[in-house]
Structure 1
Amino acid sequence: MSGQGLFVSFEGIDGSGKSTQARLLSDALKRAGHDVILTREPGGSPGAEEIRKLVLEGDPDRWSAETELLLFTAARRDHLERTIRPALAAGQVVICDRFADSTRMYQGLRSGDLRGLVDALHDLMIGQEPDLTLLIDMDPDAGLARALGRGGNEERFESFGGDLQRRMRQGFLDLATAAPDRIQIIDGMRDVDAVAREVWSVMAEALG
């Protein structure tokens, strides 16, 4: 575990249901008596939430992938300093809706191959991985349709279309193969309750 607490992230393509599952797990852990903080990326601290507005709204071509990478890294560093590390030091369970794996996929795959730069910046400025990552896996077309159906102002990445979704899904699965001790794949094509039961089973094992 990281420090005294437990750091858990949820990952997946747009529309996979990871945000719903993160919230359900947070609620279930609180009912079980755990001290839990539910947070998100980009965001999770006042400064990072300001950056969130910059990167998730507006024209799809507003930023280059390289500029996005710098913005996301700045947001993550602030989030880590002000929210995640203090909570872990206090013994809390931190549940984060997206973390560095999303940057490895979105910015690392969007424009050529920036994965090397993503990982180098992560090692230099972040230097921390979750103790457990729950990857909610879903068919890319189904996920994109769900994501676009939500509406709202934060649709910039969804607008890049199905090809990016498909490449990201495969990229997430490749990450899970490379880090099997950290990343657990959850089938997100089932109903919400069935997914939540499996998430709880994996979490209960992580808590010992």
Structure 2
Amino acid sequence: MTRLEQWVGIKGTALTWFKSSKTRLSLWLQGRFPLHLLKTSMGSLRDPSWGHFYSVCMCHLLVTLGSQKQEHILSLLQTPKVAFAASLGGNGLQKTTTGNKNLIYKDVLTNVGGAYNSQTGEFTAPVRGVYYIRFTANSPTDFPMSAVLYKNGAEIQLIAHEQPSGEGSDTASNGAALLLEEGDKLKMVLWLNTQIWDNSNHHSTFSGFLLFPM
């Protein structure tokens, strides 16, 4: 059986109340409030005229707060959900001796919002905002490793780098919060005369998420 709850609202200066079986969220968004809130606040008021005046003031206050709550909830609902993570996966060793090479992370772990393209290896910012971007790189230590983050085709001085050490393999990482404009493109590049390695254990990754829009 559907349960009806008593709710209170305001129309002009008149206090109105009604029963409803709608979800609480939808009623809060309409500026309606549970009747028991006003009853609790008015419990110590004995004078009916003051009680009515107080109830109208309280309802105005609650409606104002409700509109602010509504704006906040709607802004949260409208904020794009953006998060991605991908790895080079089972591509094994990639090495370049003739020029820089774009890294394409084809093994997609997460792609909420669809802003990462596993065919090009590029992340495209869907909205202007601050994003946290992070990457890791793994490689055997017989050759240098340099994985570099580029924005719109230009290096932005975020590098995961290791020199040969003879220790088997090394992993380097880097990350930063970046202000991106809508449509900005990020990609990872393997520098000339360096190498990178990965397998199904996801040692070399590229990831990020939207912290907040601006």
Task: Output the TM-score relative to the length of structure 2.
Answer: 0.24
Higher share of residues assigned helix? 1
Q: Which has the larger radius of gyration?
A: 2
